[in-house]
Amino acid sequence: MVERAVSEWGRIDGIINNAGITRGGMSIEENSDDDFLRLFEIHTLASARLARAAWPHMKDARYGRVINTTSDSIWGLPAAYVTVKAANFGPTRALAVEGAPHGNHVNGVAPTGVTQMSPPPAAGQDDRDQLFPASAVAPTVIALLMRASNANGLCLQVGGNRAAEIFLAVTDGYAASGSDPSTEIADDIEHVVDRAIWSSPKNFEDAFALTIERARRRWLS
């Protein structure tokens, strides 16, 4: 596919990894190993293969845009589908870091758009179809593909001509100081999840530096 595009147009400016299927049931008990593997092959591995094929051309051109597709299903069920959609978050961040020095930007979208595969509207959502036509996902995707866009490493919830960032964050946390840290952490779990102070590292180095800083604070206090 990539070679054909380069042969016909001389370059490849961007790719959108949007292939996907559904398979298996809602419960973990209804999802076989084959369900997981087939979904991973289509949603995640295929995205990596296409990005890998396009990557050298984008590096040489010092310009390229990659859009991966995740899903609002990352907040919950179904088990197999959410696993592979959440998996797309990782390579989006990794390739964004790898591509930045070469002018290549990689972002992800979690689209909400009504299609033939959509279930009937839930109670109180009678206006869903009017609010979320599939066509209202495209403007944000186009914006991320633009040469003028500086967005990189983002995951955006998109739909209804609206875009919002989905991001990973880490709380300030809690460090046990007693002789039984397991019990202490279990008893004070509310401090572990307290979101009054949180950070969103830009990359692994930032995350590790934050972990070290908080460990030092614990042992030097």
What residues act catalytically?
81
Helix, strand, coil distribution of the chain in percent, nearest 5:
50, 15, 35
Question: Per the structure block, which two tokens stand in for 167?
Answer: 């991001």
With tokens 């930045």, the residue in question is 100
Q: Which of 103, 109, 113 is nearest to 64 (CA)?
A: 103
Contact by Cβ (8 Å): 56, 104: no
φ/ψ of residue 20, rounded to 5:
-170, 155
First to last CA, the chain: 58
- The answer to whether residues 191 and 214 touch, using CB atoms and an 8 Å cutoff, is no
H helices of the chain, in order, are: 2-9, 33-40, 46-61, 79-87, 89-99, 128-131, 138-145, 181-187, 189-192, 204-220
